[in-house]
Protein backbone atom coordinates (compact mmCIF):
# COMPACT_ATOMS: atom_id res chain seq x y z
CA UNK A 1 0.00 0.00 0.00
CA UNK A 2 1.35 3.47 -0.87
CA UNK A 3 2.32 5.94 1.85
CA UNK A 4 -0.54 8.27 0.88
CA UNK A 5 -3.09 5.47 1.10
CA UNK A 6 -1.77 4.49 4.54
CA UNK A 7 -1.82 8.11 5.73
CA UNK A 8 -5.44 8.51 4.67
CA UNK A 9 -6.67 5.18 6.04
CA UNK A 10 -4.77 5.56 9.32
CA UNK A 11 -5.81 9.14 10.06
CA UNK A 12 -9.35 9.37 8.65
CA UNK A 13 -10.99 8.14 11.86
CA UNK A 14 -9.52 10.98 13.92
CA UNK A 15 -11.30 13.64 11.83
CA UNK A 16 -14.35 11.90 10.32
CA UNK A 17 -12.68 11.54 6.91
CA UNK A 18 -11.40 15.11 6.67
CA UNK A 19 -7.90 14.15 5.50
CA UNK A 20 -6.76 16.01 2.37
CA UNK A 21 -3.73 15.89 0.09
CA UNK A 22 -1.96 19.24 -0.42
CA UNK A 23 -4.80 21.62 0.52
CA UNK A 24 -8.21 21.37 2.14
CA UNK A 25 -11.24 22.47 0.12
CA UNK A 26 -12.64 25.90 0.92
CA UNK A 27 -14.91 25.72 3.95
CA UNK A 28 -13.79 22.21 4.98
CA UNK A 29 -15.01 21.40 8.48
CA UNK A 30 -12.70 21.22 11.49
CA UNK A 31 -10.69 19.60 12.80
CA UNK A 32 -8.96 18.48 9.63
CA UNK A 33 -5.63 17.06 8.49
CA UNK A 34 -3.70 18.09 5.39
CA UNK A 35 -0.68 16.17 4.13
CA UNK A 36 1.78 16.65 1.31
CA UNK A 37 4.96 15.01 0.15
CA UNK A 38 7.84 17.47 0.55
CA UNK A 39 10.75 15.25 -0.48
CA UNK A 40 12.25 11.91 0.36
CA UNK A 41 15.11 9.58 -0.52
CA UNK A 42 15.32 8.42 -4.14
CA UNK A 43 16.95 4.98 -4.21
CA UNK A 44 18.07 3.09 -7.31
CA UNK A 45 20.07 -0.15 -7.29
CA UNK A 46 23.48 -0.18 -8.99
CA UNK A 47 22.03 -2.11 -11.93
CA UNK A 48 19.55 0.72 -12.51
CA UNK A 49 16.48 -1.09 -11.20
CA UNK A 50 14.16 0.31 -8.58
CA UNK A 51 13.59 -1.29 -5.17
CA UNK A 52 10.12 -2.48 -4.20
CA UNK A 53 10.00 0.15 -1.41
CA UNK A 54 10.08 3.93 -1.70
CA UNK A 55 10.66 6.75 0.73
CA UNK A 56 8.80 9.99 1.08
CA UNK A 57 9.09 12.88 3.47
CA UNK A 58 5.56 13.90 4.32
CA UNK A 59 4.44 17.02 6.12
CA UNK A 60 1.26 16.45 8.12
CA UNK A 61 -0.61 19.54 9.32
CA UNK A 62 -3.47 19.37 11.82
CA UNK A 63 -5.92 22.29 11.81
CA UNK A 64 -8.36 23.21 14.58
CA UNK A 65 -10.01 26.17 16.29
CA UNK A 66 -7.67 26.07 19.31
CA UNK A 67 -3.95 25.52 19.78
CA UNK A 68 -4.63 22.72 22.26
CA UNK A 69 -6.93 20.90 19.82
CA UNK A 70 -4.44 21.09 16.94
CA UNK A 71 -1.58 19.92 19.17
CA UNK A 72 -3.61 17.05 20.66
CA UNK A 73 -4.57 15.87 17.17
CA UNK A 74 -0.93 16.11 16.02
CA UNK A 75 0.15 13.90 18.93
CA UNK A 76 -2.47 11.31 17.90
CA UNK A 77 -1.19 11.46 14.31
CA UNK A 78 2.39 10.83 15.45
CA UNK A 79 1.41 7.81 17.56
CA UNK A 80 -0.78 6.34 14.81
CA UNK A 81 1.72 6.71 11.97
CA UNK A 82 4.81 5.56 13.87
CA UNK A 83 2.84 2.57 15.16
CA UNK A 84 1.45 1.51 11.79
CA UNK A 85 2.36 -2.01 10.69
CA UNK A 86 1.87 -1.04 7.02
CA UNK A 87 4.76 1.44 6.79
CA UNK A 88 8.05 2.33 8.43
CA UNK A 89 7.53 5.84 9.78
CA UNK A 90 9.86 8.07 11.78
CA UNK A 91 9.39 11.71 12.77
CA UNK A 92 11.79 14.20 11.21
CA UNK A 93 11.92 16.86 13.90
CA UNK A 94 9.39 17.96 16.46
CA UNK A 95 5.95 19.50 15.95
CA UNK A 96 5.69 23.15 14.89
CA UNK A 97 2.75 25.28 16.06
CA UNK A 98 1.16 27.88 13.82
CA UNK A 99 -1.64 30.39 13.63
CA UNK A 100 -3.36 31.77 10.53
CA UNK A 101 -4.78 35.22 11.33
CA UNK A 102 -6.98 35.40 8.20
CA UNK A 103 -8.97 32.36 9.29
CA UNK A 104 -8.24 32.42 13.06
CA UNK A 105 -7.17 28.76 12.83
CA UNK A 106 -4.40 27.02 14.74
CA UNK A 107 -2.13 24.39 13.25
CA UNK A 108 0.38 21.85 14.40
CA UNK A 109 2.62 20.31 11.75
CA UNK A 110 5.30 17.66 11.71
CA UNK A 111 7.42 15.98 9.05
CA UNK A 112 7.77 12.21 8.79
CA UNK A 113 10.07 9.95 6.79
CA UNK A 114 7.90 7.11 5.50
CA UNK A 115 9.02 3.93 3.74
CA UNK A 116 6.21 2.13 1.94
CA UNK A 117 5.47 -0.19 -0.92
CA UNK A 118 6.26 1.41 -4.26
Q: What is the CATH number of the domain that holds 23?
A: 3.30.2000.30
Structural domains counted in the chain: 1
Residue 49's pLDDT is 81
pLDDT along the chain (118 residues), means of 10: 96 98 96 97 83 93 98 98 97 97 97 95
Q: How far is CA 61 from CA 51, 91, 112, in A?
A: 29, 13, 11
Dihedral sign of CA atoms 16, 12, 38, 91 in order: positive
For 54, the domain range is 3-117
Residue 97's pLDDT is 98
Burial label, 22 (beta-carbon count in 10 A; 0-12, 13-18, 19+): exposed
Residue 11's pLDDT is 98
φ, ψ at 63 (rounded to 5°):
-115, 140
From CA 49, how far away is CA 47, in angstroms rounded?
6
Amino acid sequence: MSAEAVIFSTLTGFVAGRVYPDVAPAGAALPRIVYQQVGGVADVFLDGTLPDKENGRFQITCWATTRLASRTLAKQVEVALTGSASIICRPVGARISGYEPDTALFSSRQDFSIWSTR
